[in-house]
Amino acid sequence: MKRIAVGMAMVLVLAGGAWAVEKKPTAPPSRRAGTAQAEAAAKVADGCNRFAFDLYAHLLRQEGNLFLSPYSISTALAMTSAGARGQTAEQMAKVLYLPASGAAVHAAYGALQNDLNAAGAKGAFDLVVANRLWGQKGYEFLSDFLALVEKNYGAGLEQVDFARATEAARQTINAWIEKQTRDKIKDLLKPGILDAMTRLVLTNAIYFKGKWASEFDKKLTRDEDFFVTPEKKVAAPLMRQTKHFGYFDGGEFQALELPYQGDRLAMVVLLP
């Protein structure tokens, strides 16, 4: 297996109501500012990871397999928190493990996103993170909120008409998500999710495609037993190779790190 391609997207839908709405960041204006920005972005990344484990601990109670992008969810909620105040803002910051308050935390999210997109633009792998706001045409959103999310998340506001053309708005948003994920995610918003009371939709989309640093030989892939539970097994095509990789034995689990070309990103596999 030479390449892996993944598309992920997150959508938050807000109805009408009273509300106010990794390692080396991009080149800083000064060394001191760059160091502070890098530290803030690292804290945001750590918060995203902690939120991811909390979210997984909650979702694993459900039946079936899970596929989710905690970073997408965290980013969409962070954008939403920019329009929150008082107790709501405090609770969102606690759940998301936000390292700061106000504009600083959103600037840190922006630095992390810019860093990821800059890494993806260098050619070793394809990685694109994109955000967008979809607001009800004629609805008055706070200019400070719009300016903050566009500056830090690149999430410009596109006006649609949820009230009179709900289906057209749904198709417009789905088309954007499909384009950003290179056709990996189609028709994400199902009929009925949006209605005439919808006032704002926040979207995050991620596309990744990369080659393994150590590629698998397709001739060695064969069907073998995969244990879904200790008692239940299914036949699955399993890839195989022998090589030195990052490994950790956590007692109740094992962890393996499979790097992608460019030595910047890796897949971490956890085996209970």
pLDDT value of position 6: 60
Residue 230, pLDDT score: 85
Predicted pLDDT of residue 12? 65
Topology classification of domain 218-271: Alpha-1-antitrypsin; domain 1 (2.30.39)
Task: Give the chain's length.
Answer: 272
Domain ranges for the chain: 3-211, 218-271
Return the closest-CA partner of residue 139 out of 83, 180, 72: 83
Residue with tokens 């699955």: 236
* pLDDT string in tens for the chain (272-residue length): 556 566 566 666 665 433 333 333 344 444 445 688 788 889 999 999 999 999 999 998 888 888 889 999 999 999 999 999 999 999 999 999 998 778 899 999 999 999 999 999 988 999 999 999 999 999 999 999 999 999 999 999 999 999 999 999 999 999 999 999 999 999 999 999 999 999 999 999 999 999 999 999 999 999 999 988 889 999 999 999 999 999 999 999 999 999 999 888 999 999 88
CATH number for the 3-211 domain, one of 3.30.70.1230, 3.30.497.10, 3.30.2320.50, 3.40.50.720? 3.30.497.10
Determine the angle formed by the axes of helices 103-120 and 31-59, rounding to 10 degrees: 90
CB within 8 Å of 100: residues ≥ 6 apart: 40, 43, 108
